[in-house]
Structure 1
Amino acid sequence: CGVKHASLVTRQGEVYTWGEESGGRLGHGVGKNVVQPRLVEALNSTTVDFVACGEFHSCAVTMTGELYTWGDGTHNAGLLGHGSNFSHWIPKRIGGPLEGLQVSSVACGPWHTALITSTGKLFTFGDGTFGVLGHGDRENVSYPREVESLLGLRTIAVACGVWHTAAVVEVIATQSIASLSSGKLFTWGDGDKNRLGHGDKEARLKPTCVPAIIDYNFQKIACGHSLTVGLTTSGQVFTMGSTVYGQLGNPQSDGKLPCLVGDKIALESIEEIACGAYHVAVLTSKNEVYTWGKGSNGRLGHGDVEDRKTPTLVEALKDRHVKYIACGSNYSAAICLHKWVSSAEQSQCSACRQAFGFTRKRHNCYHCGLVHCHSCSSRKVLRAALAPNPDKPYRVCDSCYAKLSKVAEASNHNRRNSLPRLSGENKDRLDKGDLRLSKAVVPSNMDLIKQLDNKAAKQGKKADTFSLARNSQTPLLQLKDVVFSTAVDLRRTAPRPVIAPSGVSSRSGSPFSRRSSPPRSATPIPTMSGLSFSKNVADSLKKT
């Protein structure tokens, strides 16, 4: 969802867009508004996996890891990533720095874009105001450029606000011979309204770890105008930023440091989060949707325009099986699973309109759920939407059969011509030994690290070490550009959120954080072997 337009991807990999046309952001090649979902025909030759919308542009990632962008590129910011300031009214593939790489996800802000490759590399491009691109400066970048301070690290998730960016970065905590992965929250860009969670309003030009919540394992992230929302693998939600409209979901918080959202979702396990400009929506494991924040335009879904300072159940979706949620700047959307149509409620075939009788039996299509006669639903196909087992063929109507067959043919064609992008299951099969056995980086201040390890051991820590996960293929460079907040004292003053009951199951959207969350002892103070520290940080740590 964007500000004034939206897009979606069907199970068949087709892209539909609608909303207000401006600069080509709908991708239809014409300057007309579209009041209902319309197929983006320029992407018919490929199978799309994921879409994202900014305010002026749109992006799509294909199943083979290619990135397409389109929209208004006339803002002198390199917004589309093609190295020019021209608008593109139909989708255009980004090559250049992305050649040979497979994109797995993309996030759009109004003025910049961030993407993650299948190997966990983070690239950004667009307007660099406030250091929002994370390259250590405020310069615009018209082509995708890798964030060098995270070079060699695996980024799990990324989100773009208006003038800030947040990412979840994979970290390996080594304990004796075992290695446990966890996702730590990094933020950078404009620090106004405390949206970065560092306890101040200073801008950060490079990704900076949020120290107050370093003990938690994150899997997903979302950004609003002056708000950052993080989801842990145990289903807890943290917010940071402006307290306006009650968007933090915690009336007791002043917004200076990250706070845990409790109240009605305290005992719930959250699976999805979404963020508008000033409102938040979450989806629980029970398929219930809660919203809070600014209520104007009815964006919270409660039948009024009142603000909500705490999570409130969306009653209108209570009887629906909600699968996904999304938020535009001032609206919200939910995708619900097809409802199986009862054959007793329908007297004629949905396709040929012939009346059912003794010789014309009723059959439900396992893809659209509608009731058809045998003549209109005699064929079977794999991966039907309502199939109990997607790996077995089930009866579908002729219309759905044609669509699914087309997708299968396109997928086979793409598979023959290029390597498939790593899916969640394939990522699980990555050589985990490469992460555990990657060589340790020589720290710039070994004596300091030893002092910290000894101090941890005296506190009963069993000499655990804490290092950032690195790919074995990546040159082992000292991570001088990875910034960890110097405000170590923030960890001491930060409120300790109440831990969710042990009965809440641990799940993750990232294949690398599906492993159990590391024990508290595995994530000590944010001083870690394998990292270089600036002189100010080193002096601060020595004093402690």
Structure 2
Amino acid sequence: MDGMEEIEIPVSGAIFTFGKSHLSEFLPNQFWVNNDSVVDISCGDEHTVLVAESGRVFVFGNNAQGQLGLGNDITTKKPSCIKSIKNEKIKLVACGRSHTVFASESGYLYSCGSNSESQLGLKEVRQVDKPQCINGVEPQQYKMLSCGADHSVALTVNGEVYVWGGGDDGKLGLGDEQEHNIPTLLSFDEKITCISCGYYHTAFVTESGKLYTFGETDEGKLGLENSVREVLTPHHVSSIPEKVKAVSCGGSHTAVVTVDGKVYTFGDGSNGQLGRGTSELQLWTPKCVELGFKAVDVSCGENFTAIISENGFLYTCGNGRHGRLAQEQDSYSNQFIPQRVNRFRQFFVHKVACGGCHMIVSATKHVEDSSNRRHSINSMNDIGLLNEARVRRRQLHNMSLNKTMPVLPQLSRNNSKPKMLNQTMPHPLSKKKLTKRTR
């Protein structure tokens, strides 16, 4: 297409990176795990963690605080497997500014990285470079994890939430600003279905579709009236008229998806991350983003936002520096209205994770029988099972690349010159509290 070859990607899908991801000198790239599907992804400030269906964990990026869990503090520029927890099957992951939390199939929580504010849930350590088991909570099944600059939150399948780490500004929701070095139950009278941590604030959604926020109030990111200056416990954001399904917190902004597929944003919008144009650069109360389609998921980075439509299309807005919005290669400016990412016109986007300076996307190629139904990221391996023979043939074709993962970047046919994502993807046709800082 237009003189460019199409990437040979397994039917089970691939991971795509954009922005300052530490992969291939920050240029867009893609890779996949041979004989495995990726089931969970997360971005920290400058590091990335992926969980495969087999339970293996792959990491890359900044490792100054040991947040990659590899047993050292060396920055890693290609996906590397964490060997020290190979006996556990990991199923969930969340990255904070410089720490990482994992949940295993057996019900245990693990953490590594900076413990400056007890965000690892471990006592008497300041930094850990290998995942350590958090002993302060009984083993149980978890549904979701989230991490902020220096705090962590875990949601159980029973709808209970545990919080730990720095309590500044009340972001743990426990009614005080104390530091908690073990997971502490956040008492609430309703089951919780979704959680998210910003750098210094936290939000969750209840079973009845209500949104609650707490923590730092600056720039309106809690969605409450600007007269509210202290939020040490969960406060209901009553100005959203529809039932809320999901929430994502960024550095200084928040976005939610309603049951009806609408997206509401609030907080700081100086880089366009609110998606409401240049006339509204800060919102203290939520306002609906004009999209023209139904959304199913949203992810907020430090100062940018990514939205997935019900048809698996990806839209981005906000700070475009380093190419993190995945728009055209020469477009690094702020984007104030969500724009579709045409790079994925032949792909179905399942999940997106936004970090401080980068974004990663999990996607599969469009197949004939999936155009009218949405697969969750947890069912990506089903596609691989249905097409096992085809996947194996494609993986054999790529065996020269690597036994575990394809070499990054992809090589051209004559192996003489590396090709980046923008060269191998089909050309578009139509279709945090260490120190506060800004980018």
TM-score (norm 1): 0.59
Which amino acid in 2 is paired with 1:387? L
Is 1:326 aligned to 2:353, yes or no? yes
Deviations 1:348-398 (A, max 9, x none): xxxxxxxxxxxxxxxxxxxxxxxxxxxxxxxxxxx6642349xxx868649
Partner of residue 128, structure 1: 167
- Offset at 1:109? 0.5
- Offset at 1:293? 1.0
2:348, 2:382 → 1: CA distance? Answer: 17
1:121, 1:288 → 2: CA distance? Answer: 32
Partner of residue 351, structure 1: none
Trace 1:188-337 onto structure 2 (pairs within 5 A).
188-200=214-226, 202-213=229-240, 215-251=241-277, 252-253=279-280, 254-262=282-290, 265-266=291-292, 268-303=293-328, 304-337=331-364
Partner of residue 185, structure 1: 211
User: 1 or 2, which has the higher strand percentage?
Assistant: 2
Deviations 1:16-52 (A, max 9, x none): 0011211211111023221100001112112111111
Trace 1:503-542 onto structure 2 (pairs within 5 A).
none
**In structure 1, the residue corresponding to 2:322 is in which secondary structure?**
helix
8 Å Cα contact 1:338/1:386 also seen in 2: no
- Offset at 1:159? 0.6
Partner of residue 144, structure 2: 105
Which moves more between the two structures, 3-12 or 86-95?
86-95
Which amino acid in 1 is paired with 2:242? Y
1:83, 1:104 → 2: CA distance? Answer: 25
8 Å Cα contact 1:21/1:34 also seen in 2: yes
1:193, 1:272 → 2: CA distance? Answer: 23
Instruction: Name stretches of at least 5 consecutive residues in structure 1 with no aligned partner.
Output: 171-181, 341-382, 402-544
8 Å Cα contact 1:50/1:62 also seen in 2: yes
**In structure 2, the residue corresponding to 1:26 is in which secondary structure?**
coil
Partner of residue 3, structure 2: none
**In structure 2, the residue corresponding to 1:42 is in which secondary structure?**
coil
Partner of residue 387, structure 1: 385
2:298, 2:363 → 1: CA distance? Answer: 16
Is 1:158 aligned to 2:232, yes or no? no
Computed over aligned residues only, the root mean square deviation of the Cα atoms, in angstroms, reads 2.3
1:232, 1:10 → 2: CA distance? Answer: 29
- Offset at 1:335? 1.2
- Offset at 1:233? 1.4
Partner of residue 31, structure 1: 73
Aligned length: 337
**In structure 1, the residue corresponding to 2:65 is in which secondary structure?**
coil
8 Å Cα contact 2:347/2:365 also seen in 1: no
Deviations 1:243-276 (A, max 9, x none): 31121111354512100011xx22x121121111
**In structure 2, the residue corresponding to 1:38 is in which secondary structure?**
strand
- Offset at 1:203? 2.4
- Offset at 1:79? 1.5
**In structure 2, the residue corresponding to 1:316 is in which secondary structure?**
helix
Which of 167, 171, 179 lines up with 1:140 in the alignment? 179
Is 1:10 aligned to 2:38, yes or no? no
Deviations 1:440-493 (A, max 9, x none): xxxxxxxxxxxxxxxxxxxxxxxxxxxxxxxxxxxxxxxxxxxxxxxxxxxxxx
Is 1:78 aligned to 2:103, yes or no? no
Partner of residue 168, structure 1: 205
2:104, 2:276 → 1: CA distance? Answer: 38
1:14, 1:20 → 2: CA distance? Answer: 20
User: 1 or 2, which has the higher helix percentage?
Assistant: 1
Which structure has the higher relative contact order (CA within 8 Å, separation 6+)? 2
Which amino acid in 2 is paired with 1:290? Y
1:273, 1:396 → 2: CA distance? Answer: 30
**In structure 2, the residue corresponding to 1:99 is in which secondary structure?**
coil
Partner of residue 60, structure 1: 102
8 Å Cα contact 1:112/1:124 also seen in 2: yes
**In structure 2, the residue corresponding to 1:130 is in which secondary structure?**
helix
Instruction: Name stretches of at least 5 consecutive residues in structure 2 with no aligned partner.
Output: 1-42, 368-380, 397-439
2:63, 2:391 → 1: CA distance? Answer: 36
TM-score (norm 2): 0.73
- Offset at 1:84? 2.6
Is 1:87 aligned to 2:85, yes or no? no
Partner of residue 378, structure 2: none
Relative to structure 1, is the Cα distance of residues 384 and 269 closer, same or farther in structure 2, using a 3 angstrom cutoff?
A: closer
2:179, 2:68 → 1: CA distance? Answer: 24
Deviations 1:167-187 (A, max 9, x none): 1012xxxxxxxxxxx210000
- Offset at 1:315? 1.4
Q: Larger C-alpha radius of gyration, 1 or 2?
A: 1
Partner of residue 49, structure 1: 91
Which moves more between the two structures, 294-303 or 283-292?
294-303
- Offset at 1:104? 2.2
**In structure 1, the residue corresponding to 2:102 is in which secondary structure?**
strand
**In structure 1, the residue corresponding to 2:343 is in which secondary structure?**
helix
Which amino acid in 1 is paired with 2:252? S
